C-alpha cells in the first residue's frame, strides 16, 4: 500500500518546476526518502493509531531510549514539553512517546508534512512552518493551548544545523513563551544528546556555500531516522519552569532565548 507516494504528490503539486522533474530524479527521491520502507512499516502498523503507534515505531527500529530526570515530569499534564531538535524525526518520536507514556494523550505542534502519516493525525496540531496558517486553524490551535492537554513542541521549528562548528538549533520562536504566559502553561525542558550524520551537515554546508535557499538536506531526514536503527538515544528532562518566571523584565523573545540557553546548559 502506498500511503506515502512522492510521485503522486509531485503530479498533484501546483509547482511547474516539480512537475517537470525527470523520472530518474523522482526515483532518486523515492530511494533517499525510504518511501518503500516507510510504507511497509505504516502498513504493518496500520491499526496502531495515535499514542499506540509511537512505541511500535521505536520497537520496529530497535531504538533504545535512555532517560535522565523522569522524576521531573509533573503529575498534571498542562505543560509545554519543549526540546532541542537535533534529529528531525527520531527526537519527535521519543519526546512524544515519553509524554504519552506519562499522561496518556497529548498534542504535538509539528510540521504539517506529518499529516501524511494517518497514524499520527490524531496527535498533531500541524503548523505550516514555511507559510501562513488560516484563521480557522489558529482558532483551533488556541483552543488546544487553553485546554488541559499536554503539548509537545520544538521551538526552533527546524532541525539543528552546524553553527560555529557546533550542532545547534536556530533561534527559538517566542510563541511558546507568549502562550505559556497567556494560558498559564508551565514549561518542561528536554535536552536530546546527539547529532545527525556527516552527510546531512555536508549537504547543508554545500547548499549554503552555493547560496541555494531550498532546504535540500530535509530530504535526508528519513535517512537520518533509519540511521538511528539499533542505536541508543539519550535524553535529559529538566525541572519545570513556571510561567510566572516570564515576567516583563525581558521581552518574550529574550525569555525564549533564555530557555534555549538553559536547555543547552543541561548537556
| Structural domain boundaries in the chain | 1-44, 51-264
Q: What percent of the chain has pLDDT over 70?
A: 96
pLDDT, average across residues 189-205: 95
Residue 36 has a pLDDT of: 92
Q: pLDDT value at position 161?
A: 95
Confidence of residue 200 (pLDDT cuts 50, 70, 90): very high
State the average pLDDT over residues 205-210: 91
Residue 110, burial from CB neighbour count under 10 angstroms (0-12, 13-18, 19+): buried
Q: Please say if the pLDDT value at position 26 is more than 90.
A: no
Measured CA to CA, the distance from residue 216 to residue 220 in angstroms comes to 8
pLDDT at residue 128, rounded to an integer: 56
Please check whether residue 54 is in contact with residue 98, taking contact to mean a CB–CB distance below 8 angstroms: no
In this prediction, residue 260 carries a pLDDT of 98
- What is the chain's mean pLDDT, rounded? 91
Q: What number is the average pLDDT over the span 128-157?
A: 82
In contact, 64 and 232? CB cutoff 8 Å: yes
- Which pLDDT belongs to residue 130? 47
- Helix, strand, coil abundance in the chain, percent, nearest 5: 50, 15, 35
What is the model's pLDDT at position 110? 80
State the Cα–Cα distance between residues 154 and 86, nearest whole angstrom: 10
Report pLDDT digits (tens) over 83-140. 999 999 999 999 999 999 999 999 999 877 777 889 999 999 866 544 555 677 778 8
CATH number of 51-264: 3.40.1130.10
**Terminal Cα-to-Cα distance of the chain (whole angstroms):** 42
pTM: 0.91
pLDDT tier, 16 (very low <50, low <70, confident <90, very high otherwise): confident
Mean pLDDT: which of 11-15, 155-159, 218-222 is highest?
Answer: 155-159
Q: Which long-range contacts (CB under 8 A, 24 or more apart) does 117-124 make?
A: 117/3, 117/4, 117/42, 118/3, 118/42, 118/46, 118/49, 119/42, 119/45, 119/46, 119/48, 119/49, 119/50, 119/53, 120/50, 120/53, 122/49, 122/50, 123/50, 123/51, 123/96
Residue 132, SS3 per DSSP: coil
Amino acid at each position: 500500500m502506498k500511503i506515502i507516494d512522492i510521485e503522486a504528490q509531485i503530479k498533484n503539486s501546483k509547482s511547474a518546476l516539480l512537475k517537470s522533474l525527470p523520472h530518474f530524479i523522482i526515483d532518486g527521491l523515492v530511494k533517499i526518502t525510504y518511501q518503500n520502507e516507510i510504507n511497509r512499516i505504516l502498513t504493518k502498523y496500520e491499526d496502531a493509531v495515535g499514542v499506540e503507534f509511537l512505541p511500535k515505531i521505536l520497537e520496529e527500529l530497535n531504538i533504545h531510549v535512555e532517560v535522565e530526570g523522569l522524576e521531573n515530569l509533573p503529575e498534571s499534564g498542562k505543560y509545554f514539553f519543549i526540546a532541542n531538535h537535533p534529529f528531525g524525526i527520531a527526537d519527535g518520536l521519543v519526546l512524544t512517546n515519553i509524554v504519552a507514556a506519562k499522561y496518556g494523550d497529548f498534542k504535538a505542534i509539528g510540521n504539517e508534512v506529518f499529516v501524511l502519516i494517518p497514524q499520527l493525525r490524531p496527535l498533531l496540531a500541524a503548523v505550516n512552518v514555511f507559510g501562513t496558517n488560516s484563521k480557522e486553524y489558529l482558532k483551533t490551535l488556541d483552543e488546544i493551548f487553553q485546554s488541559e492537554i499536554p503539548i509537545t513542541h520544538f521551538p526552533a521549528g527546524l532541525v539543528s544545523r552546524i553553527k560555529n562548528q557546533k550542532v545547534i538549533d536556530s533561534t527559538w520562536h517566542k510563541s511558546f513563551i507568549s502562550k505559556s504566559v497567556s494560558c498559564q502553561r508551565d514549561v518542561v525542558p528536554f535536552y536530546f544528546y546527539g547529532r545527525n550524520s556527516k552527510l546531512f551537515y555536508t549537504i547543508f554546508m554545500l547548499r549554503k556555500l552555493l547560496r541555494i535557499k531550498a532546504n535540500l538536506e530535509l530530504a535526508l531526514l528519513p535517512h537520518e531516522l533509519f540511521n538511528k536503527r539499533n542505536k541508543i538515544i539519550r535524553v535529559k528532562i529538566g525541572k519545570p519552569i513556571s510561567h510566572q518566571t516570564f515576567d516583563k523584565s525581558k521581552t518574550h523573545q529574550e525569555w525564549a532565548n533564555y530557555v534555549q540557553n538553559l536547555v543547552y546548559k543541561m548537556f
